[in-house]
């Protein structure tokens, strides 16, 4: 069985990726499980470029299929910010609560119709035989206050109108079907399945 290594230390993200890819004939492990904690120089101009930088960086120190993602929040009223700077939008070393509060404060008093946003996820895969990226997104609205205790990151302030809940209020099985990462992972899963079974013929 081939090994797929996730270039992330985020427990929530790793759990989500493992759950969605569990049906693939791959041994899915995180870089932390293997003892790798490389420094990623994310200087790309897009989510896809940053994902590929991370995947190639980890592939230089370990074997197997390397999976890396770069995801973030784009808010229309803020001209697409925080975008690729999502993780450090409120400054280095700030808590997620501080990051959420900064966005809430920036949109304070703004009408609901102008609070539109989306989560974007790009995933890069690198191996000796192939490399590619996939990308997808999910639309929502920035809530006026954090809601819910599930999920991670900006989930408590990302409201999904169709369900009347934030990502942090949705059951994991629903989030894992509609999230940006879930949708990108489904594209990835299809591509890897095609590649894997083609290679087994």
Q: Which residue has the tokens 């966005």?
A: 103
In angstroms, the CA 170 to CA 19 distance is: 16
Fill in the DSSP letter of residue 120: E
| Adjacent-strand bridge partners of 28 | 4
Which position among 70, 111, 129, 155 bears the catalytic label?
A: 70
Q: φ, ψ for residue 165 (rounded to 5)?
A: -140, 160
* Element at 163 (helix H, strand E): none
Residue 96, CA atoms < 13 Å, CB-side half-sphere: 10
Residue 142, Cβ neighbours under 10 Å: how many?
Answer: 25
The verdict on whether 70 is a catalytic residue reads yes
Output the six-digit token pair for 37.
Answer: 């904690």
Can you tell me the distance from the alpha carbon of 72 to that of 74, in angstroms, rounded to the nearest whole number? Answer: 7
3-class DSSP state for residue 43? coil
Positions marked catalytic: 70
């Amino acid at each position: 069985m081939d090994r797929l290594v996730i270039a992330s230390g985020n427990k929530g993200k790793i759990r989500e990726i493992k759950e969605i890819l569990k049906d693939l004939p791959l041994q899915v492990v995180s870089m932390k499980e293997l003892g790798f904690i490389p420094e990623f120089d994310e200087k790309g101009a897009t989510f896809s470029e940053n994902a590929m930088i991370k995947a190639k960086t980890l592939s230089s120190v370990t074997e197997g299929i390397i999976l890396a993602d770069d995801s973030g929040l784009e808010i229309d009223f803020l001209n697409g910010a925080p975008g690729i700077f999502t993780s450090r939008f409120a400054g280095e070393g700030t808590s997620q609560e501080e990051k959420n509060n900064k966005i809430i404060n920036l949109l304070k008093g703004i009408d609901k119709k102008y609070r539109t946003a989306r989560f974007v996820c790009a995933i890069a895969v690198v191996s000796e035989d192939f490399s590619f990226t996939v990308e997808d997104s999910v639309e929502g609205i920035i809530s006026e206050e954090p809601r819910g205790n599930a999920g991670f990151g900006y989930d408590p302030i990302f409201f999904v109108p169709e369900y009347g809940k934030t990502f942090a209020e949705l059951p994991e099985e629903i989030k894992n079907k509609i999230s940006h990462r879930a949708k990108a992972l489904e594209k990835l899963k299809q591509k890897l399945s095609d590649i894997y079974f083609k290679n087994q013929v």
